[in-house]
Amino acid sequence: MNAFAVRSWSLGLALYAACLGSALAEAPAAAAPASAAAETTFDDGPYIRYGDGEIVARWVCAGKVLERSYPAKRWPVRVPPRCGVDRPILVRAPAPAQTDAPAGAVARIAVLSDVHGQYDLLARLLRSNGIVGRDLRWRYGRGHLVVVGDVFDRGPQVNQALWLLYELEQQARDAGGAVHYLIGNHETMALGGDLRYVNSGYQRSAAALGQSYPQLYGPDSVLGQWLRTRQTIARVGDSLFVHGGISPDYVAADFDTERSNADYRASLGTPKAQWKDDPKLLPLYNGKTSPVWYRGYFTDPELAQAQVDDIAARLGVARIVVGHTTHHHIASYFDGRVIGVDSGIKNGESGEILLIEDGRFSRGTTDGARLPLLPGERLKDED
């Protein structure tokens, strides 16, 4: 392991230790115990952490904990399937911080958001629209896949979705493409100890493994370290991607994309009890104007076209693509300046993927149909 990785882990672990006690104190009371049958049907894992010259993987299979160690003399390290994820996982060395795509045109971009543990629907959308093959391996060539946050919470297959995106990132890079998984408000909530939306099966897994849910994704874990390298705001081609949106107030407050991303990376996992009283962190996490929570593009009747045009101009992009606020279908707002891509995947019944290919915009469906973008409607604010 190189010195950079060790220093990054040390800083991450220090922050995590400072926040963990507060996060646990703030977490809601545990749900009522599930039945024995329910506990034995939630197979989960792997949860993998970096060790000294090895990696350690743990699963919860039929209610029982299974642990295996694998030497890490060279990367990647292959972890065979036990339960939970049904494919081998190739674990890479600790990831560096992700950066924007190189400046210039990107011929093909596929975008979706708010997966919320609906792995099967995610896989179906990716397969049907040519992003992956039947074997779930990357087949989008030099294209870019952008997942605009909120893979965590609600559904029962969060871990499967995370490992799929982790694997696709390397496969896309090998093919000359890229995967951009952005941080959404539910990543910040779950890792910060706000467990209101965590699926009960994961609560049981954490208890069986003797850890809190946020600890499963601590800085020493493979997925936890990877998550702490993600962007929250990303430019790909002439589009900017962010989970909630960039509000007029946020832009006015000395906005800088790189600084915002660095601040999110350094603070991911900070509980509300800490960030709400920190003037540096509050703009990142408050529920009205922060990039991971803002809904004003769809709910603010006072927001005018000229304001949105000004935001895009100040960011140097043609459009802003966001998730977070659920629509009946992927929708265009403000004369195409804003596109909302949260199409209700979280409900597990249907969803869409935005395709920007050679300058043409379409909505990809679960059966592979390509439909035109439609104008959106004003929505009511939601929690």
Residues 332-358: tens digit of each pLDDT: 999 999 999 999 999 999 999 999 999
Residues contacting 117, CB < 8 A, separation 6+: 151, 152, 153, 154, 155, 156, 157, 158, 161, 199
Q: State mean pLDDT over 362-373.
A: 97
DSSP state of 345: G
pLDDT tens digit sequence for 117-157: 999 999 999 999 999 999 999 999 999 999 999 999 999 99
The owner of tokens 């832009």 is 251
Residues contacting 34, CB < 8 A, separation 6+: 200, 204
Separation CA 115–CA 181 (nearest Å) = 11
Q: Could you give the angle at which helices 158-174 and 119-128 cross, rounded to 10 degrees? A: 30
Dihedral sign, CA of 314, 316, 319, 321?
negative
For residue 8, the model assigns a pLDDT of: 41
> Which of 279, 235, 236 lies closest to 261, judged by CA?
235
Q: Model's pTM, two decimal places?
A: 0.89
Determine contact, residues 163/90, Cβ cutoff 8 Å. no
For residue 196, the model assigns a pLDDT of: 96
Determine contact, residues 54/299, Cβ cutoff 8 Å. no
- Token pair, residue 360, equals 């043409």
Task: Band the pLDDT of 41: cuts 50, 70, 90.
Answer: low
For residue 333, the model assigns a pLDDT of: 98
Determine contact, residues 167/133, Cβ cutoff 8 Å. no
CB atoms under 10 Å from CB of 296, counted, come to: 21
Half-sphere exposure (Cβ direction) of 187: Cα atoms closer than 13 Å: 33
DSSP state of 202: H
For residue 168, the model assigns a pLDDT of: 98
Task: Band the pLDDT of 382: cuts 50, 70, 90.
Answer: low
CATH of domain 3-34+95-375: 3.60.21.10
Separation CA 19–CA 123 (nearest Å) = 34
Domain ranges (residues) in the chain: 3-34+95-375
Dihedral sign, CA of 286, 289, 291, 296?
positive
DSSP state of 349: S
Beta strand pairing call for 319-322 and 239-242? parallel
For residue 7, the model assigns a pLDDT of: 40
Separation CA 219–CA 223 (nearest Å) = 8
Quote the mean pLDDT of the chain. Answer: 90
- Token pair, residue 125, equals 């959308």
For residue 5, the model assigns a pLDDT of: 42
Q: State mean pLDDT over 256-281.
A: 95
Is pLDDT above 70 for 381? no
Is pLDDT above 90 for 31? no
